[in-house]
Structure 1
C-alpha cells in the first residue's frame, strides 16, 4: 500500500486498537503499474492496528469500484481527499468521511461530492456508504464547475449529542470557498437541515481565500 495526502486514526473494526486510515486522492502513475487500477480516481487504505502497532499484513483498500460505494472510478475524481474518522452511528465502529473534490457531477467538471463509509467487524466497507453533492435535494447551492465540494471533510460533535456532525468544504465555491454543515440526527449525515456559509456570511472580504482549505480540531 502506498502513502497518501490525508490521514486519520480510529478503531474501524472495534478490536481495541487504532487503525490508520490513509486517503490518496491522486491517480496512479507508471511507477507501480500493477497498482494503477486501484488508484484510478483515488482510494482510501486502512492499515489495521495491533498490539505492536500498525500491522501492514492486514489492510483494506476502498475505491469507487468497491461494491456499495456510490459512483465509479474515473481519472481525476480525487476520491480519498480530506479523510476524517469518527463513530457516526454509535455502533462502536469508527466510520470514515472523505471527499472527491474534483469529481464531475454529470457534465459539470470538478463540482465535487463527499462520501461516508462504514466501519464494521471486518473493517472498512462499502456497505451502507452514502454520498452527496450540491445537486442533492436540500443541500444548499448548485453543483458548479471548479467548486471542489468535498475538498475537505470533518466529523465533529459540535452540539454534544454524542453523534458527530459532518462538515464539508468547497474551496472553489464562488471563487472564495465555503463550508457546509450536515446534521446527524439518527446515525448518518442528512441533507435536511444542512446549512452553508462563506466569506459573505462571515462579513469578510476574501477573494480567492479558499475558505475551508483546512479544518482544525
Structure 2
C-alpha cells in the first residue's frame, strides 16, 4: 500500500540530521481519520517537524538530498525520526548526484484525504 501523500511529501523533505541523536523508525501510513494538525505527518495526533537536507549524500550520490521528519509526542519532539529519500518506498525517482531532493518542502493535506 503506498504511503499517504502527506507522508510521502514529509519523507521527501528529511535527511539532514542523519547521524544525530535520533533513533530511526519505519514510516507508517496515516490513519483514515483527519489529522488534527497539518504538520502531524504520521497521524498520531502530535505535531512533527520536517527538515530538508538537499545536500545530503545518498548511496554515494553527492547532494542527492532527503528529508528528515522528527516525530512529536504529547511533551514535544522525541528522539525518533523518519528519513525519506528517493530510495524510500513510495517516493518517486532514484537518488542522483545534484538532485537536491528536499530543497523545498511543504506540509498540509495536499490531496484532501484528511
| TM-score past 0.5 threshold | yes
Q: Higher relative CO (CA 8 A, sep ≥ 6), structure 1 or 2?
A: 2
What is the rounded CA distance, in whole Å, between the counterparts of 1:90 and 1:107 in structure 2? Answer: 32
State how 1:1-217 maps to structure 2 within 5 Å.
64-69=19-24, 86-127=39-80, 129-162=81-114
Structure 2 unaligned residues grouped into runs of 5+: 1-15, 26-37
Aligned residues: 88
Larger radius of gyration: 1
Q: Alignment partner of 1:118: what SS?
A: strand
Let me know the Cα RMSD of the aligned residues: 2.6
Give 1:138 shift. Answer: 4.1
What TM-score comes out, normalization by structure 1 length? 0.35
What is the rounded CA distance, in whole Å, between the counterparts of 2:44 and 2:89 in structure 1? Answer: 27
* Per-residue deviation, residues 45-81 of structure 1 (Å, max 9, x unmatched): xxxxxxxxxxxxxxxxxx74113148xxxxxxxxxxx
Structure 1 unaligned residues grouped into runs of 5+: 1-41, 44-62, 71-84, 163-217
Structure number with the higher strand fraction is 1
What TM-score comes out, normalization by structure 2 length? 0.62
